Structure 1
Amino acid sequence: MTASIPQPCDQGVIYAKPCVSPCRQQAKVWVLAATILGSSTVFISNTVINVALPTLQSQLGATASDTQWVMSIYSLLQGSLVLVGGALGDRLGRRRVFVLGVGLFAIASLACGFADSVNSLIFARAVQGMGGALLIPGSLAIISASFPENERGAAIGLWSGFTAISTAIGPILGGWLIETLSWRWGFWMNIPLTLAIVVISLRLVPESYDSNAPKQLDYIGALLVAAGLGAVVYGLMESSNLGFGSWLLWSAIALGIFLLMAFVRVETHVRNPMMPVSLFRSRMFVGTNLLTLLIYANLGGVLFFFPFNLIQVQGYSTTAASAALVPFPLMMFVLSRWSGGLVDQYGARKPLMFGPLVVALGYGLMILPGVGGSYWLTFFPAALVLGLGMAISVAPLTTAVMGSVEDRYVGTASGVNNAVSTLASLLAIALLGIVMLVVFSSSLAAQTASLDLPEAARQFLADQAVNLAAADVPSGLSPSAQQAVETAINWAFVVGFRTVVGIAVGLALLGSAIAAVTIERQPSRPQRI
């Protein structure tokens, strides 16, 4: 679910570059077909992997840290390389790079389905992330190059509508495949879709280039940001296995920070930086990216743990868990035109102050459920309100980002903002994963303290805490003691989940405050600091 969250500046990327030579009318239909299928494939695949994680945990013997890597390695590679992927398309041909990304994504999906260990799955997911870094900006750039500005709004509407529908339908289809066949089919179903995309693109989608694209790409910057984030995330995610006293953990974090500092320095000196540091002289650009970081970190972190709660604690089937958040994208789809009107009527500032408040309310409703209860009275209201809050926020966020920099930097600003939204969930999964493990472990120990358990059983439970709600119950216990331990495990996860969601509430409120301080009351020229 995390990676299928609509990105804030997709429309900004499409609008960023002018259409130099519009394609023929007959080709426009196939351009939309290829780009919609391409984006939908990514959304569906990454939604399916989210609901497949509990199954992977049991069938591949994965720890909670392993499942975090399965999700995060994709975001790491995609978020680090997406700007390079867009630049490659401008230089080498947008269709060519798009097809390359689709092919890479297809091969990786095949490998994911055949993975026989969690490590091989993580490697295949990394390749998927590289494919996504070429595919996603390529699909947006092809639309931008194919439609003149007076037709682009309708094209964006169709593209956004169909991708939103795929975000809603994809989880249900994937959940049904996982439940009736195997989790492997959640990946293999990408193959016919990607084959169709390649055939349509090569035969019916025209090629386009940017004659003004820089000849030198910022490969050093891309390598530094990927390695730096990877080292930091490795240290954070492996803390449960290495222990907070491990020299390897702190060495990895220190190395990551050093590489990220080197990245910032390189970006101030390289001729064509992937992230021009000068953009951050705009207070509004800084504010919109901070708001993006907070909103998408919240979503990424909370929605990562949500399927574990539904499947392992609440007893939902994989299909039911997949459908539980469908009201979220549907609300965004239905209200997309209305939310765009909010910007025209009020500007971006008021919606960006109010939207995160509604998001915080949605998270607050998600804190209330315990174990059991009807979906319609527990998680449905939270999904509905969360969708409303995001619908209010996304369109104004796009407008604010595009209005925060000079026209010549709009494309780069949109790309940076999308990269921020992708990397936000990566960092959130790592940091909130630590919070979840610490709270779960302490809560489990507290709830089993009054039980008459052998010391060996208590140590077994302490060792099993890394598996969170999938923790095994010690053998040799009486039926009543076994039931009590199972209940304690479930409630320990609920306590951890409530803590994570509570943090999300606080960060959403902080986002609203940041919008109030940094977003201009009325659109104007970029403000410098």
Structure 2
Amino acid sequence: MSTAPTGSSTLPASGAAPAPSGRRANPWLTLVAVAFGLFMVGLDGSVVSIANPEIGRALHASTADLQWVTNAYLLALAASLILGGKLGDRFGRRTFYLVGVAGFTLASVAIGLSGSIAGVIVFRAFQGLFGGLLMPNTLGLLRAVFPPKKFGMAVGIWAMVSSVSTALGPIVGGLLVQHVGWESVFYINAPVGVLALAVSAFVLPQSRDSTGHHRFDVGGVVLLALGLVVLVFGVVKGETWGWTAAGTLGSLAAGLAVLALFCRHETRREHPLLPMRLFRSPALTIGTVITAVNFFTLLGSIFFIMLYLQNVRGFSPVEAGVRTLPLSLASVVAAPLGAAVTDRFGARVSMPIGMLLQAGASLWMLTWQSDSAYGAFWPPFVALGLGVGMVMSASSEAIVGNAPVRDGGVAGGLQATALQVGGALGTSVLVSLISGRVGGTLVDELTGAGVPAQAAARLGEAEDAVSMGVAPVSASMPEQLRAAVVEGSGHAFMNGVHTAAAVTAVLCLAGAVLAAVGVRRGSVPAAG
């Protein structure tokens, strides 16, 4: 559990906003206000995947176009998160949170009105940019108004809102796409955004921590944005280019090199964009790593779970979303529970517990088959939701709670960046693992299911479709052959799922060990 920053004062720093009074002095009203914006961004992040097929049909978009609907958002978000937190810390967290909410809302409406795939991609990038202003300042605002003893519980509720909004995305998206249209998954942000602006303008206090002679780190902004964009670009293209392709390796290496240059640059700045002194705290550093592993597991697992439920089992988007409700409900319970455990025993206990729960969920998935009953699904869904919610609370406390108040926005941006990079890696890496495993086993599984060897060899070329859970059958196939192809394709897909689940289990077990060994209770936030 974190302690108050050393050397901190109850008096406003030079250039800081005056102490709030009245309704703006109530930290719980601040939590309510930021929850609206957080819910909007979390929901949007997961409903879009449900809408993508309909967007493709309606706008005659290619597969590459649909990839950029996601990638444009992700790249813009990754490039702007830490900058958004820094701007809030210096010029006003309330100001940049409101700008982020307003911009995100307007960009959402513009996507629905665009009428072309190019417009959707451009405004998705604007969504990411404004999301980068919004997200880190939610935690920065909470860090500034909650006393240390209550900050952990506030983070628990923050994590609950984030987890639930992400988990509800498939259900809400399925209902909207099925009964209204793909534009509605973006239009839904309009009423939420307007409500967020109204409540926030009424109750949010202004908070900032700026010195009177602060020179903005323009070089750091450029280096960090460039490094993250290039790195995330390599991650999201690794799935299609191949992880050993020159383009993928070159992008990853270039991104890491630029980020290393950024770190060197920051150590030489009087007022850096991302103070390297923050990483003196083992809890903050490990919390950042665990955040990435947490969302690697969550978003990567949700991706292949939805492929399995919809394409292999034949459920509609709404039916698939309803069947993942145990994950959502478990997240609701786990976030405040994780905060309470962190307050009582420290992140050294709560983070490993959350990681072990996720590892258990992944290991349980190794028992799944293409025709498994629902009784095999809901227990790992519950374990995954409990683990994600608990780690979300614990890692938020470890990262933001172990940063000085004046760096609360930057710490929030650091956490959100780790979350986005981890999620991007999870989806891309696990899809690649599934594809590779399917490609290596498809022909054997088809022949084992009774498909003639010659036909199985031809169907082996359809590994991309099978990697998405789609059996390469046609109406002209005899019924017996069609059944054999469906059976063999299902087995090959499950081979890929088992490989992906094994990898997430190993990562989560490693994360549990890292947190248990590396995090110490009562660590002091980096001052200076």
Q: Is the 8 A contact 1:231 1:252 kept in 2?
A: yes
Equivalent residue, structure 2, for 1:356: 355
Q: Do the aligned partners of residues 169 and 487 (structure 1) sit closer, same or farther apart at CA in structure 2, a change above 3 Å counting?
A: same
Q: Do the aligned partners of residues 204 and 333 (structure 1) sit closer, same or farther apart at CA in structure 2, a change above 3 Å counting?
A: closer
Distance, in Å, in 1 between the alignment partners of 2:138 and 2:526 is: 31
Q: Is the 8 A contact 2:442 2:463 kept in 1?
A: no
Distance, in Å, in 2 between the alignment partners of 1:244 and 1:160 is: 32
Distance, in Å, in 1 between the alignment partners of 2:454 and 2:117 is: 33
Q: Is the 8 A contact 1:294 1:508 kept in 2?
A: yes
Report the CA distance between 1:406 and its aligned residue: 6.6
Look up the equivalent residue of 1:432 and give its one-letter code. L
Look up the equivalent residue of 1:500 and give its one-letter code. A
Equivalent residue, structure 2, for 1:365: 364
Aligned CA RMSD, in angstroms, stands at: 4.0
SS at match of 1:424: helix
Q: Do the aligned partners of residues 394 and 65 (structure 1) sit closer, same or farther apart at CA in structure 2, a change above 3 Å counting?
A: same
Q: Is the 8 A contact 1:328 1:386 kept in 2?
A: yes
Report the CA distance between 1:183 and its aligned residue: 2.5
SS at match of 2:176: helix
Q: Is the 8 A contact 1:76 1:226 kept in 2?
A: no
Equivalent residue, structure 2, for 1:272: 271
Q: Do the aligned partners of residues 240 and 334 (structure 1) sit closer, same or farther apart at CA in structure 2, a change above 3 Å counting?
A: closer
Please identify, of 335-344 and 39-48, the stretch whose mean Cα deviation from structure 2 is larger: 335-344
Q: Do the aligned partners of residues 38 and 413 (structure 1) sit closer, same or farther apart at CA in structure 2, a change above 3 Å counting?
A: closer
Equivalent residue, structure 1, for 2:377: 379
SS at match of 2:272: coil
Q: Do the aligned partners of residues 471 and 515 (structure 1) sit closer, same or farther apart at CA in structure 2, a change above 3 Å counting?
A: same
Equivalent residue, structure 1, for 2:518: 518
Please identify, of 300-309 and 224-233, the stretch whose mean Cα deviation from structure 2 is larger: 224-233
Distance, in Å, in 2 between the alignment partners of 1:170 and 1:241 is: 25
Equivalent residue, structure 2, for 1:461: 461
Q: What does 1:136-175 correspond to in 2, within 5 Å?
A: 136-143=135-142, 166=165, 171-175=170-174
Equivalent residue, structure 2, for 1:506: 506
Equivalent residue, structure 1, for 2:134: 135
Distance, in Å, in 2 between the alignment partners of 1:66 and 1:452 is: 37
Equivalent residue, structure 1, for 2:306: 307
Q: Is the 8 A contact 2:327 2:384 kept in 1?
A: yes
Distance, in Å, in 1 between the alignment partners of 2:114 and 2:487 is: 33
Q: Is the 8 A contact 1:298 1:428 kept in 2?
A: yes
Is 1:446 the counterpart of 2:444? The answer is yes
Equivalent residue, structure 2, for 1:432: 430
Q: What does 1:53-452 correspond to in 2, within 5 Å?
A: 53=52, 55=54, 69-114=68-113, 120-143=119-142, 166=165, 171-202=170-201, 205=204, 207-212=206-211, 215-239=214-238, 241-242=240-241, 247-375=246-374, 377-401=375-399, 412-449=410-447, 451-452=451-452
Q: Is the 8 A contact 2:24 2:204 kept in 1?
A: no
Q: Do the aligned partners of residues 157 and 426 (structure 1) sit closer, same or farther apart at CA in structure 2, a change above 3 Å counting?
A: closer
Q: Is the 8 A contact 2:208 2:406 kept in 1?
A: no
Distance, in Å, in 1 between the alignment partners of 2:51 and 2:198 is: 29
Q: Is the 8 A contact 1:22 1:145 kept in 2?
A: no
Please identify, of 383-392 and 459-468, the stretch whose mean Cα deviation from structure 2 is larger: 459-468
SS at match of 1:469: coil
Q: Is the 8 A contact 2:88 2:94 kept in 1?
A: yes
Give CA-to-partner distance per residue, 1:273-321, whole Å, 9 cap, x none. Answer: 2322333344444333333332222223222322222211222221122
Distance, in Å, in 1 between the alignment partners of 2:286 and 2:454 is: 54
Distance, in Å, in 2 between the alignment partners of 1:401 and 1:145 is: 14
Q: Is the 8 A contact 2:352 2:515 kept in 1?
A: yes
SS at match of 1:79: helix
Report the CA distance between 1:137 and its aligned residue: 2.6
Q: Is the 8 A contact 1:37 1:197 kept in 2?
A: yes
Q: Is the 8 A contact 2:153 2:340 kept in 1?
A: no
Report the CA distance between 1:66 and its aligned residue: 6.1
Report the CA distance between 1:503 and its aligned residue: 0.4
Distance, in Å, in 1 between the alignment partners of 2:523 and 2:243 is: 48
Q: Do the aligned partners of residues 214 and 58 (structure 1) sit closer, same or farther apart at CA in structure 2, a change above 3 Å counting?
A: farther
SS at match of 2:469: helix
Distance, in Å, in 2 between the alignment partners of 1:391 and 1:321 is: 21
Look up the equivalent residue of 2:518 and give its one-letter code. T
Equivalent residue, structure 2, for 1:3: none
Segments of structure 2 that go 5 or more residues without pairing to the other structure are: none
Look up the equivalent residue of 1:113 and give its one-letter code. G
SS at match of 1:269: coil
Give CA-to-partner distance per residue, 1:489-509, whole Å, 9 cap, x none. Answer: 333322222211110000011
Report the CA distance between 1:57 and its aligned residue: 6.3
Distance, in Å, in 1 between the alignment partners of 2:525 and 2:415 is: 16
Q: Is the 8 A contact 2:137 2:409 kept in 1?
A: no
Report the CA distance between 1:48 and its aligned residue: 1.4
SS at match of 1:238: helix
Report the CA distance between 1:514 and its aligned residue: 0.9
Look up the equivalent residue of 2:441 and give its one-letter code. S
Look up the equivalent residue of 2:320 and give its one-letter code. A
Give CA-to-partner distance per residue, 1:10-37, whole Å, 9 cap, x none. Answer: xx9xx99988512422885875554222
Distance, in Å, in 2 between the alignment partners of 1:24 and 1:526 is: 30
Q: Is the 8 A contact 2:104 2:131 kept in 1?
A: yes
Q: TM-score, normalised by structure 1?
A: 0.82
Give CA-to-partner distance per residue, 1:41-78, whole Å, 9 cap, x none. Answer: 11221231233345556666777776655445434332
Equivalent residue, structure 2, for 1:4: none
Give CA-to-partner distance per residue, 1:174-216, whole Å, 9 cap, x none. Answer: 3211221222211111122223333444566555544438743
Q: Do the aligned partners of residues 170 and 424 (structure 1) sit closer, same or farther apart at CA in structure 2, a change above 3 Å counting?
A: closer
Distance, in Å, in 2 between the alignment partners of 1:442 and 1:21 is: 63
Distance, in Å, in 1 between the alignment partners of 2:97 and 2:156 is: 21
Distance, in Å, in 2 between the alignment partners of 1:196 and 1:393 is: 29
Q: Do the aligned partners of residues 271 and 470 (structure 1) sit closer, same or farther apart at CA in structure 2, a change above 3 Å counting?
A: farther
Q: Do the aligned partners of residues 469 and 125 (structure 1) sit closer, same or farther apart at CA in structure 2, a change above 3 Å counting?
A: farther
Please identify, of 504-513 and 117-126, the stretch whose mean Cα deviation from structure 2 is larger: 117-126
Segments of structure 1 that go 5 or more residues without pairing to the other structure are: 1-7
